[in-house]
Amino acid sequence: MNLRRRGMSRVGYWILVAVLALGGIAMIFPIFWLFSVSFRPASEINTVPPNLLPVHWTLNNFTVVFQRAPMLSYLWNSFVFATISTIFIVLTSSTAGYIFAKFKFPGNNAIFMLVLATAIVPFEIYMVPLFLQMNALHLVNNPIGLFLPFLVLSYGIFFMRQNTMTSVPDEILDAARIDGMSETGVMIRMVPRLLAPAVSALAILAFIQAWTAFIWPLLILNDPKYFPMELGLSQFANTGSSNFGVTSAAAVIALLPSIIAFLLLRRRIVEGITITGLQG
């Protein structure tokens, strides 16, 4: 049965599509606008009303950005930060999630409840004491101080426990054990294959989380040479000396990796976000 034909005429359907398309264009307009402004000469920035596209295209803004701010270094810092964070979160979450899901031992429930309880506490609540801890370890303005809080994710442990319970059957594990495989062997050689979709969803969540981190880098870092992309860009934009063309060019550079990643991995990213979102 076709609900569409039943409820709506052909004309009505296409009017609806047109309205949605207009809205959709409005949605990507701010991103388009950054690109458009980034290619304008200074003389075209203050035109009223603004032109949709530059009249005289120029790459000058990009040249200025590269002279004034180490954007590539910011992006590289973000990449290293996000990669390390993702590896650790995936390892700690999947091993802990597997143990919580498949092993009965004294304290299992109590420890897991503690993990679950901290999962609802947002970072902003405990960032002051966390800063003092890092300060005590002399890790302020140090990349390790930046990385540490992003090595575990309470929600990740919860998420992997759920997924282990639903997609790792006991029969397969027991069969491997009967064949003489050690517990370590079972965990390292049997489980990862079964958890692959969940791991990829978690990895995407973890990577985006670190890639877009802002308040913790702002707190813990002073030296621009350690700045990740979001912080570096905001500091550059707040110095005030640059016009909108230059700021836009910096923003475009900061956006490009995300846009490329999204175009290449679109389906997987959307899937990852829905899976991790819906099981929260």
| Alpha-helix runs per DSSP H in the chain | 3-7, 10-38, 60-68, 71-102, 108-119, 123-136, 143-147, 154-167, 170-178, 183-185, 191-211, 215-220, 229-238, 244-278
In the complex, least distance from residue 268 CB atom to another protein, rounded to whole angstroms: 12
Q: Is 18 in the site for another protein (CB under 8 A)?
A: no
Q: Is 57 in the site for another protein (CB under 8 A)?
A: no
Q: Is 201 in the site for another protein (CB under 8 A)?
A: no
Residue 218 CA to residue 228 CA, distance in Å, equals 10
Q: Is 34 in the site for another protein (CB under 8 A)?
A: yes
Q: Cα torsion for 160, 165, 168, 173, to the nearest 10°?
A: 110
Q: Is 244 in the site for another protein (CB under 8 A)?
A: yes
Compute the residue count for the chain: 280
Among 42, 84, 116, 127, binds another protein (CB under 8 A): 127
Q: Residue 212 corresponds to which tokens in the numbers above?
A: 């877009």
Among 215, 222, 225, 260, binds another protein (CB under 8 A): 215
* Rg, Å, the chain Cα set: 24
User: Residues 251, 38: contact at Cβ < 8 Å?
Assistant: yes
> Which stretch in 40-48, 54-62, 168-176, 193-201 sits in contact with another protein by CB under 8 A?
40-48
User: Residues 247, 71: contact at Cβ < 8 Å?
Assistant: no
Site residues (CB under 8 A) for another protein, limited to 59-118: 92-93, 95-96, 98-99, 103, 105-106, 108, 111, 114-115, 118
> Which stretch in 56-64, 166-174, 194-202, 237-245 sits in contact with another protein by CB under 8 A?
237-245
Between 29 and 57, CB nearer to another protein: 29
Tell me, residue by residue from 156 to 185, as one string, x for binding to another protein by CB under 8 A and - for no binding: -x-------------------------xx-
